[in-house]
A and B are shown apart, each in its own frame.
Chain A
Amino acid sequence: MASVDLRKGSVELLLLSLLEDQSRHGYEIGKLIEQRSGGRIAFRVSSLYPVLCRMEERDWIKGRWVEHTGERRRRFYSLTHKGKRALAAERRAWHEFTRGVNLVLEPSHA
């Protein structure tokens, strides 16, 4: 049960951290994750978009339609105050979690 929650939380953490410095649109977010993970993590619309929706419902991110001349309208997401706080909390939780996992995996303690 906890592991399911954890995995979901980690997707959100990824998205929040990608939006920390600048606003991005949905396809860009998916692409970035894929690039930075060296192709190890790839999302389709069906798994990424609902997370964006859910985060927006929670007021963590805010979507906004932007139209550049000659391009099609795209929805850019940016962090809200609530989102920044959530990001900090998620980061802390992630570090705690990885530290814990590392401690468990550390051979000296075995």
Chain B
Amino acid sequence: MPDWKRYVRERLELPDIMGPVESDIIEEIAAQVDECYRGAIAAGASEKDADARARDHVGDWQELAAEITRSKRKHARSAIDRRVEQSEIRLRHKGGAWNAAADALQGLSLTLRRLRRAPGFTAVVILTLAIGIGANTAIFSLVNGILLKALPYDYAEQLVTVWNRAPGLQADGRADDLFPQSPALHFTYVDEARAFESVGLWTQAQATVVGTDGPERISTVLVTAGTLPTLRVQPVLGRTFTEEDETPGSPLTIILSHDYWQRRFGGDPDVIGQTLHVSDMTREVIGVMPRDFRFLEFAPDIYRPLRFDRSTLFVGNFTFRSIARLKAGVTIEGALADLTRLVALAVEKFPGGMTLELLQEAQAAPVLRPLREEIVGDVGTVLWVLLGTVGIVLLIACANVANLFMVRAEIREQEMAIRSALGAGRRRIAGLYLSESTMLAVLGGVLGLGLAYGGLRLLTAIAPGNVPRLDEISLDPAVLAFTLGISVLSGIAFGLFPVFRWGRGYLVQALKEGGRGSSSGRERHRTRNALVVGQIALALVLIVGSGLMIRTVQALRQVTPGFRAADEVLAVLLTIPSAQVAEPDEVALTFEAIAHRIEAVGGVASVGLSSSITMDRMAGFDPIFVEEFPLPEGQLPATRRFKWIGAGYSETMGNNIVAGRSLTWGDIHARSRVVLVTENLAREYWSNPADAIGKRVGTGFGPGNWREIIGVVGDVRDDGIMQDPVGIVYWPMVLEDFWPEVRGGAIFMPRTMWLVVRSSLVGAEGFLNEVRDAIWAVNPNLPLSRVQTMADVLRSSLARTSFTLVMLGLAAAVALLLGVVGVYGVVSYVVSQRTREIGVRIALGANAGKVAAMVLQLGVVLALLGVAVGLAAAYGLTRLMSGLLYGVSAVDPVTFGVVAPCLAAAVLLASYLPARRASRVDPMEALRVE
């Protein structure tokens, strides 16, 4: 009996109807024809007569198609189609150039209609592209927001930060370290520099505000009068600081941040002239900053004037940050020449500090860095690596789509050949493919934008806390343009593959073959195979990249950063204001009393105090002379990091005492002239750390003022977990005769100290409350700030690495998935194309194993080539990420050695499935297909 469905499908042309509606129509008409045929047979007609009668029963096919289309108009065209058609007609009525627009519109709607007829293909392509484009959009908006977009200040490119370099003062390998600014140099620049339009000095500080509901710890920035004008920012209310505000003895003033104004004053418009009790002094509010203003990378609650008595300044005290605005047209080099000339003048104007000889010995020189560089920091490497990574993912996605397109093109070979035979030029056919591919890519881009929007919210949530400018990241016009750009480019890229095929005279051949599966498609197989090899290679690069990050994390796990069992150490920053306790000795006793109180809390193993904990960037630094190793006259030794500690600090952190002993409260209260040093510092002078014990060191403008080394402690990675340990000198927290050149006879005693507590209960509910109660039992007016565990410190130091690992891992997983799908697709397609051949082989007696091996062979070749190319590419590309690695080479043989066979195995597995299917081909079925 004839296949009536096929008969109807071949004759009924319903170009505007598709999907289930179309198949319903075909089935119903086929059913009617079938009934007619059966009726005739039942009535005794011959098969031939019945067939003729059935065929005749339909009548005029064209009329039928036209009538159906007319009556099914509702289904045939969506509202969008109709609107597009109406717009097209309207455009044609306008005539002239509008015809071109109408053509474009018509092409667009035809393309859309074609794509809707292949929903599976369309969906897979759009989704694949959306993943690739979405990932690129998300990472690009990070790059754009953080690296490319101008800083939110007027003419931000004129802004620089002012630093100093002193290679002669630095320990080995740290010659590039920068020193902050000295007030004496700053005021010299204010008065004399010609290159600066304006320059400001600033520093950050915590402050306590006393209010009705207890003491509140707030963040403040202290600025000289020139600082805010340098950023060209004006308060929204009141005025900015003037020279009078920064003169000692004048009334104390503050400017509020917009946020703090809202929080503390409820946005009171009459806030100017009101007062606030900040750090024991009553200060008058003179201004409110704009809502979205950020002071560089900070968002302080209030701004205070930074005050100096110019008569007491000297060249030294390099502890302040400085920012300047270059005059229009002045380059950094030009400005540096101007500043260098002023150093000698500063020594002359502000005597009593470093001499010109000392500065020359230290090779001291000013350094200017673009503000952008400073704010952005080294996050650039991560971002560029990530952008490269997602770029690779997009390439892989495009390769997959290109393969799909080539398969589809083969299926449509007949259609194209006929179009071509009917006079469609090569250009028109290329246009057909390209319009389809570009439209798919743009649709993928639109979906990708959605993915990127969601992805960005996730990204900004998991990004390391020290990533700058996160709040400036958005899907702005630059990002949208980027997305559109890569969408169109991808569309053209994968659309060109089938176009090139048409450029090589396949047409005649295709026509000759009459749509039969072509057996001479060696070239197009080659293109497809090359695409798959490329995919495998790119996936390998990404997997090696994430492998290297895993090895980095592994290596970092082995590192002891200067503390152990980090989640059992709680750190709390505590300040004892002079209004609470005036005498330095009393301050030390108060800290000790607090320490003892906390020691009595259940579960506490030990308590320690230090002015700076690992990686907090709160350490001081100055030169250290060693008595045993005198330097030539006038030569300065290297500067070292200084921290001031109470008893029990090293023990609580879990750092080793390598030699000698630890500091006791006895040493501190007796103001013993003793210090501790880290092992690497001891080894610089004495090969055996124990030999350092009993030796003497001192600090100051010259040798002398000696103190005895009583202990050597383990190395501390104070610059971060990935940086080398830094030499540190630990001083007792109460010192007399410390830098008498500057301080005279005053006792040195830091009032802000970290309290570190080791306990297995850290993190347990109520533990922090018990610690706080213990502190307040000693003095109820002490505010706690910056409560954290050392595990938090470690985590934030690892944040960049973890972030990169997660991102690279995700990209590698997507790449692997797309790559494996690509291999599977190609091998499956080859199997389906060769079903007949395979059937013949099996019919001729080839066993299943042999057939499977034949197919698998293709997989093996693809895998080997892909892995080989990938290894070569990875060898070149992973070097770009060496800045993100630790303890592992960018061409680590272990990583390369593990990834390559694993990926090859995955590729083989992907080709095994179609191979198995090939081995089960039923020869009868296979031959019948043709």
Contact = CB atoms under 8 A, between A and B. Distances in A.
Contacts of A44: 56-59
B35 interface: yes
Interface stretch (A11-19, A71-79, A84-92): A71-79
Contact of B68 (A31, A50, A63, A74): A50
A44 B36 CA distance: 10
Interface stretch (B25-33, B370-378, B499-507, B713-721): B25-33
Contacts of A31: 39
B59 A27 contact: no
Interface in B536-585: none
A57 B72 contact: yes
Interface string B591-612: 0000000000000000000000
B413 interface: no
Nearest to B72: A53
Contacts of B68: 49-50, 53
A3 B495 CA distance: 55
A51 B330 CA distance: 85
B63 to A, nearest CB: 5
Contacts, number: 62
A102 interface: no
Contacts of A75: 24, 27-28, 31
A50 B32 CA distance: 13
A26 B28 contact: yes
A54 B73 CA distance: 10
B34 A45 contact: no
A28 B35 CA distance: 9
A28 B25 CA distance: 17
A25 interface: yes
A45 B58 contact: yes
A46 B72 contact: no
A28 B28 CA distance: 13
A47 interface: yes
A46 B32 contact: no
A50 B27 contact: no
B928 interface: no
B61 interface: yes
A49 to B, nearest CB: 6
A45 B32 contact: yes
Interface string A25-67: 1111011000000000000111101100110010000010000
Which residue, of B36, B39, B59, B71, has the highest number of chain A Cβ atoms within 10 A?
Answer: B71
A63 B68 CA distance: 15
A25 B29 CA distance: 11
Nearest to A54: B71
B74 interface: yes
B71 A46 contact: no
Contacts of B61: 46
A27 B35 contact: yes
B64 A45 contact: yes
Contact of B59 (A45, A54, A73): A45
Given A57-B72, A57-B74, A46 B67 contact: yes
Contacts of B36: 27
Nearest to A74: B31
B39 to A, nearest CB: 8
Contact of B31 (A47, A53, A57, A73): A73
B172 interface: no
Contact of A57 (B25, B56, B64, B71): B71
B60 interface: yes
Contacts of B24: 75
A26 B56 CA distance: 16
A44 B56 CA distance: 8
Contacts of A73: 27, 31
A72 B59 contact: no
Given A27-B36, A53-B68, A57-B72, A45 B31 contact: no
B34 A72 contact: yes
Contacts of A49: 28-29, 32, 64, 67-68
B31 A26 contact: yes
A43 B796 CA distance: 82
A70 B57 CA distance: 24
A74 B30 CA distance: 10
Nearest to A42: B57
A47 B57 CA distance: 10
A27 B63 contact: no
B71 A50 contact: yes
Contacts of B25: 53
B32 A26 contact: yes
Contacts of B56: 44
Nearest to A50: B67
Contacts of A46: 58-61, 63-64, 67
A27 B60 CA distance: 17
Given A45-B58, A46-B63, A50-B71, A72 B29 contact: no
Contacts of A63: 28
Which residue, of B29, B32, B59, has the highest number of chain A Cβ atoms within 10 A?
Answer: B32
Contacts of A54: 71
Nearest to B65: A46
Contacts of B74: 57
Interface in B63-94: 63-64, 67-68, 70-72, 74
Nearest to A56: B71
Contact of B71 (A27, A53, A72): A53
B67 A45 contact: no
Contacts of A25: 31, 35
Which residue, of A28, A46, A53, A72, has the highest number of chain B Cβ atoms within 10 A?
Answer: A46
Interface of B: 24-25, 27-29, 31-36, 39, 56-61, 63-64, 67-68, 70-72, 74
20 contacts: A25-B31, A26-B31, A27-B31, A27-B35, A45-B58, A45-B59, A46-B58, A46-B67, A47-B59, A49-B28, A49-B32, A49-B64, A49-B68, A50-B67, A50-B71, A53-B71, A53-B72, A57-B71, A74-B31, A75-B31
